[in-house]
Amino acid sequence: MIVGSDIARAISLGGVFALVRFRSVPGDSKDITNVFFAMVAGLACGMGYVALAIVFTVVVGVIYFILNFLQYGVRRCVTKQLRITVPENLNFSGVFDDLFNEYTTNVELEQIKTTNLGTLYELTYNIDMKKDVDEKAFIDSLRCRNGNLNIVLCKLPERLEKL
């Protein structure tokens, strides 16, 4: 509606959207959506359609408020990365299964790596923790099984894809 039949305006607007989309840091899809909505409101104001920009902003704000209130798109559980170092003489296949069943809802073995000149294995898991789980108790239970070697429980690192 705002661009109308002006082809030059439409092409320049497409270029601006493409530039913002591909030059911004990859992140949450909500962030880039907010940028696009702000650009639309700013474009409408800049072209003299202030009333349309106000209506658009109010409608989008109400929709955001409703979606936020309903918790639409909120992750129910947080995926974390668990790195456990085990000695080479420990058969790690299935040794932590009962602990995973007690403290997690989902476990996926992502990587097995040797360290310390092959005398240790580092197991990397992606896990979904159960709600209200005591992480210290979980780590203490794991430490009893791996001979008190290193254990790292951290936020799952975001994988940045190259464009």
pLDDT at 160: 37
Mean pLDDT for the chain?
Answer: 82
Write the DSSP string, 81-99: EEEEEEETTS--TTTTHHH
Same domain, 97 and 131: yes
96: containing domain:
79-155
Asked if residue 90 is part of any domain, the answer here is: yes
Give domain status of residue 115, yes or no: yes
Per-residue model confidence (pLDDT) at position 163: 35
Distance CA(15)–CA(29), nearest Å, equals 20
Q: What percent of the chain has pLDDT over 70?
A: 80
In a domain, 89, yes or no: yes
Q: What is the pLDDT of residues 107-163, one digit of tens each?
A: 999 999 999 888 899 999 999 988 888 889 999 999 998 888 999 998 877 653 333
Burial readout 119-128 (b: 16 or more C-beta within 10 A, e: otherwise): ebbbbebebb
Question: Residues 43, 92: one domain?
Answer: no
- Judgement on whether residues 83 and 151 belong to the same structural domain of the protein: yes
Which of 18, 36, 69 is the last residue before a domain boundary? 69
The predicted model scores a pTM of: 0.56
Same domain, 95 and 148: yes
Domain count, the chain: 2
Note whether 51 and 102 are same-domain residues: no
Which residue did the predictor score with more confidence, 9 or 163? 9
Contacts of residues 13-19 at CB distance under 8 Å and 24 or more positions apart, as own/partner, are 13/43
Q: Evaluate whether residue 2 is within a structural domain.
A: no
Same-domain pairing of 59 and 84: no
Q: Tens digit of pLDDT for each residue in 14-43?
A: 777 676 666 655 566 777 778 778 888 887
